[in-house]
Amino acid sequence: MTSKVKRPKTAAERRVRVNQILRGLDQMYPNVTCALHHGNAWELLVATILSAQCTDKRVNEVTPGLFAKYPTPRDFAAVRPEVLAQDIRSTGFFNNKAKSIVGAAQKVLRDFGGKVPQTMEEMLSVPGAARKTANVVLGTAYGIAVGVVVDTHVQRVSRRLDLTKQTDPVKIEQDLMKIVPQDRWILFSHQIIHHGRALCQARKPRCAECLLDPVCYAKDKTA
């Protein structure tokens, strides 16, 4: 249906609308966190690499056995990628993911004393860690807000909510960082991701159940 929600025209009106969106997210998802199960920053890095083109549910099914077999970065660094690939086969793109994980383990051991680094610059030097992965690890494992996680849910929902008109994840992140307060970046990412799974789904968003409906004028809203 075509939404009749009034679009904000001024910068002040846009700020008011963003605050309404943030309050709505707080009401719907007050205490959400990363859906990937992990015990430390290294395990989260591995899980995030595995989550590319794969559901978090599937990753969470694979990682318990994986981390039992390879408990530390040193164990991952020592395994041949073709062997690791078979352990993660069900997550898809397993050959590339195995190379990235082994390379990440070797990098972490060689350059960072076996600990996942805590800056964006250092994270981006780790195989398999682009900005999304780096933001997940820095935000969730260390509580460091240097950016906004932009996965497929964040891309879709932020465009539906007219928080950005961009399609490139890096440009979407830049837009979100301008309008969302920095102390909200970590929680905002988790909230939008959960919202994309729970209500603002790709094929048929459940708008009638959404607290953001009064401030949303997406063209594909449902009755």
Residue ranges of domains in the chain, CATH in brackets = 11-31+147-215 (1.10.1670.10), 41-142 (1.10.340.30)
Q: Is residue 2 over pLDDT 50?
A: no
Q: Identify whether 151 is a catalytic site residue.
A: yes
Report pLDDT for 222.
86
Q: What is the reported pTM?
A: 0.93
Mean of the per-residue pLDDT values of the chain: 96
Annotated catalytic residue, options 56, 97, 107, 151 = 151
Report pLDDT for 14.
94
Q: Is residue 4 over pLDDT 90?
A: no
Q: Is residue 31 over pLDDT 70?
A: yes
Annotated catalytic residue, options 56, 107, 132, 213 = 132
Report pLDDT for 3.
46
> Rounded to 10 degrees, what is the CA torsion of 72, 64, 141, 171?
110
Q: Identify whether 175 is a catalytic site residue.
A: no
Question: Among 126, 133, 176, which residue's Cα sits nearest to residue 155?
Answer: 176
